[in-house]
Amino acid sequence: MKNSINIGLLGFGTIGTGVVRVLQKNADVIQQRLGAPVQLLKIADLDITTDRGVQVAPAILTTNVEEVISHPDIDLVIELIGGYEPAKSFLLKAIANGKHVVTANKALMAVHGQEIIAAANQAGVSVMFEAAVGGGIPVISPIKESLGANRFSSVLGILNGTCNYILTKMTDHGSEFAAVLKEAQQLGYAEADPTFDIEGVDTAHKIALLSSLCFGTRVDFNQVYIEGISNIDAVDISFAKQMGYKIKLLAIGKNHGDQIEVRVHPTMIPAEDQLAEVDGVFNAVRLTGDFVGPTLLYGSGAGMDPTASAVMGDVMAIGRDILCGARLRVPIMGCCEEAVQSLPIQPMSEIISHYYLHFKSLDRPGVLARIAGCLGDHHISIQSMIQPERHEADCVPIVLMTHAAKEADVVKALKEIEAFDITCQNPRLIRVEHDLG
């Protein structure tokens, strides 16, 4: 019987440092729970000289990835490099060498998951990625295991701390996007190049993975609708508030049986919903299963320590398998490969939603009638309307909330209204979600 679990680390950045910290600080707890110590044999990084604030024996540091992924004594490789390449090549090589893999790489798993899973199944090794979604919050394991007897109808999430921090600040202080982004960058809550976060790509990677896990289907990432928060205006946040809503970058996965919805966009949700109260850099996931009902999992969605916690949870799960001789105990995506479906993603044009529409028109009599008429022609009925006081020069805002309507109809109507001679500015649309699980 093995008397330790031997691991190697690829990438000694923030999360890698967190993993070293937890291994050192909680070695006793980990061993007591696992039944054997976890030994970190090698760390590979291009930079092995910078002081990360943790003590590491110089001999375990290397710039040569091969020393990790081909190390004869290493059972498990933790990949914390991020991005597609060279992370993918390293992972595949580690797998081919019979190493189990734990990764926090959502981009890689969401886009190249199939290839990695196929390689792992062939090699008989595990790939786990709890840290890829929701930081330290246990989400992936509960879907695959504790809640595994459920048919999930939806999975909704606030999955990006940067976006949620920015939207929270905009909501609380009425600030504009650009100013808050700058502040977030200064505080370290947003990257120097924040595109992946603020344009919703990171969130989309995560909801693609969650949808795949919950609904037992492959998700073609290219079919996921992605809209970020960079066009959100303080005034829309304020109008939303007046109407009893908050704007969140909501990740939405829904299962309609023959097709699924997987989409990410700024979304107005009722202010009293728990998801609306997830503020700042926190994350939350609401899973709705046919037996368990709605279940909310909430916590720190990012950061060195919470992410290291999730990585180590996976290391311990695989460690337990190693210690008791189990192989491929839980399928990588929670569902046996032969049962995984390939459900199509519903095109955005077909989704049914409520819509918040913000028009700016010349202040003429009959404006509302023309807009409402056009919407009506496209089978869109109005649920409520506010005509705020704010005027800019000759333009007046008109804010409408629609009843459930088809996206294609809304797009068509807005195109027509855009062309009206009374329209001062292209209408703004924010989807409204009431069906929150």
- Please enumerate, by residue number, every residue annotated as part of a binding site: 10-17, 106, 191
130 contributes a contact to a second copy by CB under 8 A: yes
Q: What is the C-alpha end-to-end distance of the chain, expressed in Å?
A: 46
Name which of 24 and 425 has its Cβ closer to a second copy.
24
User: To the nearest whole angstrom, how small is the minimum distance from the Cβ of residue 279 to a second copy?
Assistant: 10
> By three-state DSSP, how is residue 71 classified?
coil
User: To the nearest whole angstrom, how small is the minimum distance from the Cβ of residue 323 to a second copy?
Assistant: 8
35 contributes a contact to a second copy by CB under 8 A: yes
Task: Write the Ramachandran bin of 134: left for phi over 0, alpha for psi from -120 to 50, otherwise beta.
Answer: left
User: To the nearest whole angstrom, how small is the minimum distance from the Cβ of residue 22 to a second copy?
Assistant: 5
User: What residues numbered 167-226 form the site for a second copy, per CB under 8 A?
Assistant: 216
293 contributes a contact to a second copy by CB under 8 A: yes
Q: What are phi and psi of 103, to 5 degrees?
A: -140, 155
Q: Which stretch binds a second copy (CB under 8 A): 90-98, 177-185, 301-309, 412-420?
A: 301-309
User: What residues numbered 215-254 form the site for a second copy, per CB under 8 A?
Assistant: 216
The residue type found at 394 is D
Which of 42, 93, 169, 206 is catalytic? The answer is 206
User: To the nearest whole angstrom, how small is the minimum distance from the Cβ of residue 339 to a second copy?
Assistant: 4
The tokens 């006081």 sit on which residue?
A: 389
27 closest CA partner among 38, 16, 43, 18: 38
Pick from 331, 368, 382, 416: which binds a second copy (CB under 8 A)?
331
Q: What is the CA radius of gyration of the chain?
A: 24
Indicate the annotated binding residues for L-homoserine: 191
The tokens 């990410």 sit on which residue?
A: 264
How far apart are the C-alpha atoms of 176 and 107, rounded to whole Å? 29
Report yes or no: 249 and 232 within 8 Å, Cβ to Cβ. no
Name which of 93 and 248 has its Cβ closer to a second copy.
248
264 closest CA partner among 343, 345, 183: 345
Bridge partners, 42 (sequence order): 8
User: What residues numbered 361-380 form the site for a second copy, per CB under 8 A?
Assistant: none
Q: 312: part of which helix (H) or strand (E)? A: helix 304-323
Number of residues that bind a second copy (CB under 8 A): 67
Report yes or no: 104 and 80 within 8 Å, Cβ to Cβ. yes
2 contributes a contact to a second copy by CB under 8 A: no
How far apart are the C-alpha atoms of 41 and 57, rounded to whole Å? 10
> Count H helices, E strands: the chain?
14, 17
94 closest CA partner among 177, 11, 155: 11
The tokens 């009722």 sit on which residue?
A: 270
206 is catalytic: yes
317 contributes a contact to a second copy by CB under 8 A: yes
1 contributes a contact to a second copy by CB under 8 A: no
Pick from 7, 60, 262, 316: which binds a second copy (CB under 8 A)?
316
123 contributes a contact to a second copy by CB under 8 A: no
334 contributes a contact to a second copy by CB under 8 A: yes
Pick from 113, 136, 253, 427: which binds a second copy (CB under 8 A)?
136
∠ at Cα 116 (113, 120), nearest 5°? 135
User: What residues numbered 142-161 form the site for a second copy, per CB under 8 A?
Assistant: 142, 144-151
How far apart are the C-alpha atoms of 263 and 207, rounded to whole Å? 8
138 contributes a contact to a second copy by CB under 8 A: yes
Indicate the annotated binding residues for NADPH: 106
Which residues lie near a second copy (CB under 8 A)? Answer: 18, 21-22, 25-26, 29-35, 130, 136-138, 141-142, 144-151, 216, 274, 277, 289-300, 305-306, 308-310, 312-317, 320-321, 323-331, 334-336, 339
Q: Which residues are catalytic?
A: 206
